[in-house]
Amino acid sequence: GQQLNQSPQSMFIQEGEDVSMNCTSSSIFNTWLWYKQDPGEGPVLLIALYKAGELTSNGRLTAQFGITRKDSFLNISASIPSDVGIYFCAGQAAAGYNTDKLIFGTGTRLQVFP
Amino acid sequence: NAGVTQTPKFRVLKTGQSMTLLCAQDMNHEYMYWYRQDPGMGLRLIHYSVGEGTTAKGEVPDGYNVSRLKKQNFLLGLESAAPSQTSVYFCASSYEPVNQPQHFGDGTRLSIL
């Protein structure tokens, strides 16, 4: 089946720093989504991307749909303590197995130190 | 302003027992989903529903059954629980488009001994 490689697996940063994480696929995707999960809670949808090259912001968060359609990036500017959590990418493949299903990455665990 | 509510929050079962997890949403969403989350892995889709009275298989449907008799409720059943089904289960819903869950519940932590 399809697989998503999300990196890095974890990040430890200082408050105020910018953060970058990415997600890559072995095949072309039509949709990329980014979620955040706080401890003990369900994921929350942050940003949805539907077109190659699309750049979308949500406050201090910016995500991009890679032009090759095989990757996506999430940036967080000026991190704050409440940014702590696990960030998941998810994508919907354009062709092949499971094209109607959303596939999740394994997550990037973010820790922010004051 | 409940959103998606899952019950129970925790449960411990013995191998072979059965149980039903309940998901309720108050947003009048058409689409509902059941996922499982295991350590080191992303969420995996078990079953989903595109409307009242409909269900469809996801990525890992074996050992689970679902029903959507009412639009606001989506039930996940384990007929004969196995240790491999120990996981955290999340329900989600969305208005559109299909297969892009927007609202998740807080999860049900299920342990099978």
Cβ-based contacts under 8 A for chains A and B: 53
Q: Are strands B10-13 and B108-112 parallel, antiparallel or unpaired?
A: parallel
Encoded tokens for B38: 């295991």
Cis, bond preceding B97 (omega within 30 deg of 0): yes
* Residues A74, A47 contacting (CB under 8 angstroms): yes
Q: What is the pLDDT of residue A62?
A: 98
pLDDT band, residue B42 (cuts 50/70/90):
confident
Q: What are the tens digits of pLDDT across the range B75-106?
A: 999 999 999 999 999 999 988 666 677 789 99
Q: List the single residue in A with minimal CA-CA distance to B98.
A: A100
Residues B3-15 have pLDDT tens digits of 999 999 999 999 9
Interface residues on A facing B, Cβ-Cβ cutoff 8 A:
1, 4, 6, 31, 33, 40-45, 48, 88, 90, 92, 98, 100-107
Between CA B91 and CA B4 the distance in angstroms is 7
Rounded to whole angstroms, the Cα distance separating A84 from A81 reads 6
Closest C-alpha among B51, B39, B32 to residue B105: B32
Backbone angles phi, psi at A83, to 5 degrees: -75, -10
Neighbours of B71 (CB within 10 A): 15
Interface test with A, best of B100, B103, B108, B109 (most A CBs within 10 A): B100
Give the gap in angstroms from C-alpha B104 to the nearest C-alpha of chain A.
5
Cβ atoms within 10 Å, residue A20: 14
Contact residues on chain B for A36, CB-CB shorter than 8 A: none
Q: pLDDT tens, position by position, for chain A (114 residues)?
A: 566 899 999 999 999 999 999 999 988 888 999 999 998 899 999 999 999 999 999 999 999 999 999 999 999 999 999 999 999 999 887 766 556 677 889 999 999 998
Please name the residue that has the structure tokens 């932590």: B109
CB contact under 8 A, B41 and A106: yes
Task: Find out whether A65 and A72 touch, Cβ atoms under 8 Å.
Answer: yes
* Closest residue in chain B to residue A97, using alpha carbons only: B59
Residue B23 pLDDT grade (very low, low, confident, very high; cuts 50, 70, 90): very high
CB-CB contact of B80 with B87 (8 Å): no
